[in-house]
A and B are shown apart, each in its own frame.
Chain A
Amino acid sequence: MQELLLVWTTGPMLSIALTLAAFMAANWLFARVGRPLWMPPVLMAAVILAGAVAASGIGYETYQQGARWLTVLLGPATVALGVPLYQQMHHIRALWRPILCTLPLAASLAAVYAVGIAWLMDAPLSILASLAPKSVTAPIAMGIAEQLGGSVALTLGGLLITGVLASVFVDWGAKWMKISDDRMVGFALGLNGHAIGTARAFEISPTAGAFASLGMGLTGVFTALFLPFVFPF
């Protein structure tokens, strides 16, 4: 048994099989339980995957090494977001003013709210620096956290939780504020929830997805350029 696990974990195939199976199980389960807003597929897949990783005895480190074969594709997948962005350009042109008005304030507040709350609760500076880039897509956020003197692991944890929470909260907020415009919902998802919010937006519609890609890209660029100058105030 031990020998078999050793053979299976020398290559990435076990990690890939676990990830694919969890993804498909999550999609199936998500449709079965009536697509609940509070449990997006990404969270469902992660819970199933965490259970599978723990149960299989493969160990988190070994799992991550194998899963890198999948996660490296996030690079070209981010580039791929440029295609719907181009295809939806007429929608974006029609809405350029609210986008430009919302972006600087909303992207700043995404960092300021969390840092402010943590500061009020007496969190040390290293925690504040780790939380600041929480709404920025992972590869950019890691660079920002390092520059500000935060912990990359904590930043990654914070931004993953943020992405899942944003997917839920934007849906709630849109319902509560009676916003049914996919463009606004998508933009808010990408701005606050980076890649996780963008994945959620593509489940709503291609238009929402394009606006989420735009929100994610603009927030990443804006935060990367400005946060290092204003932190620590």
Chain B
Amino acid sequence: MVLLRGFLVLVVFFLLGEALRVLVGLPISGGVLGMVMVTATLMLRGRVSDQLAEASRGLISVLVLLISPGVVGVFFIADRFAGHWFSVAVALVAGTLLSSVTTLWLMKKTAGDRTRGHSHD
């Protein structure tokens, strides 16, 4: 019952997110809008109920389970890369490697400068 109440809150926020997406015509998914709305609501309330915390922990712990049916698709759609699979593969591998390293480097650089700046305060 406790879990169900938290789950209901999450589903309602998902529906609200979808409503916002359709009514305002935003190109952002209902899930992400719902996530923003939950965070904003919790910040306004200043606390999170045990039911909601429990339900969200439960769902997040099975995130991999929920994603895996989609990932399986990769093994079955390989033929759609028809003729360009090599450039697609290089773009994905090299592009992701470069962007992952760039993000880490940028975070380290900007956070590092800030901490160093603070130490002089």
Majority SS at the chain A contact face:
helix
Distance in Å: Cβ of B109 to nearest Cβ of chain A: 8
Residues of A near B96 (CB, < 8 A) are 110, 113-114, 134-135, 162, 165-166, 169, 192
Residues of B near A144 (CB, < 8 A) are 27
Q: What 0/1 readout, one digit per residue, does chain B (52-85) give for beta carbons within 8 Å of chain A?
A: 1101110111111111111111111110110010
Q: Identify the closest chain B residue to A61 (Cβ).
A: B76
Residues of B near A179 (CB, < 8 A) are 104, 107-108
Q: What 0/1 readout, one digit per residue, does chain A (55-66) give for beta carbons within 8 Å of chain B?
A: 000001001100
A220 to B34, CA, bound (A): 13
* Other-chain residue from B36, B43, B63, B102 in contact with A217 (beta carbon distance below 8 A): B36
Q: Identify the closest chain B residue to A67 (Cβ).
A: B69
Supposing A42-B64, A80-B60 touch, asked if A102 and B29 sit within 8 A by C-beta, the answer is no
Q: What 0/1 readout, one digit per residue, does chain B (5-48) give for beta carbons within 8 Å of chain A?
A: 00100110110010000000011111110111111001100001
Which of A64, A80, A97, A202 has the most chain B CB within a 10 Å cutoff?
A: A80
In the complex, the answer to whether B106 meets A46 with C-beta atoms within 8 Å is no
Supposing A127-B88, A165-B96 touch, asked if A102 and B38 sit within 8 A by C-beta, the answer is no
Distance in Å: Cβ of B28 to nearest Cβ of chain A: 5
A23 to B40, CA, bound (A): 33
Supposing A75-B30, A84-B60, A117-B90 touch, asked if A106 and B77 sit within 8 A by C-beta, the answer is no
* Other-chain residue from B76, B91, B110 in contact with A101 (beta carbon distance below 8 A): B110
CB within 8 Å: A-B pair count? 319
Residues of A near B65 (CB, < 8 A) are 19-20, 23, 45, 70
Supposing A82-B36, A143-B27, A209-B60 touch, asked if A181 and B70 sit within 8 A by C-beta, the answer is no
In the complex, the answer to whether A60 meets B39 with C-beta atoms within 8 Å is no
Residues of B within 8 A of A (CB): 7, 10-11, 13-14, 17, 26-32, 34-39, 42-43, 48, 52-53, 55-57, 59-78, 80-81, 84, 86-88, 90-108, 110-111, 114
Pairs A–B under 8 Å by Cβ, sample size 26: A15-B69, A23-B62, A26-B64, A43-B71, A70-B65, A70-B66, A74-B67, A76-B10, A77-B31, A80-B59, A81-B60, A82-B39, A101-B106, A106-B103, A117-B94, A123-B84, A127-B84, A131-B92, A134-B95, A140-B29, A153-B77, A173-B101, A179-B108, A187-B103, A192-B103, A228-B27
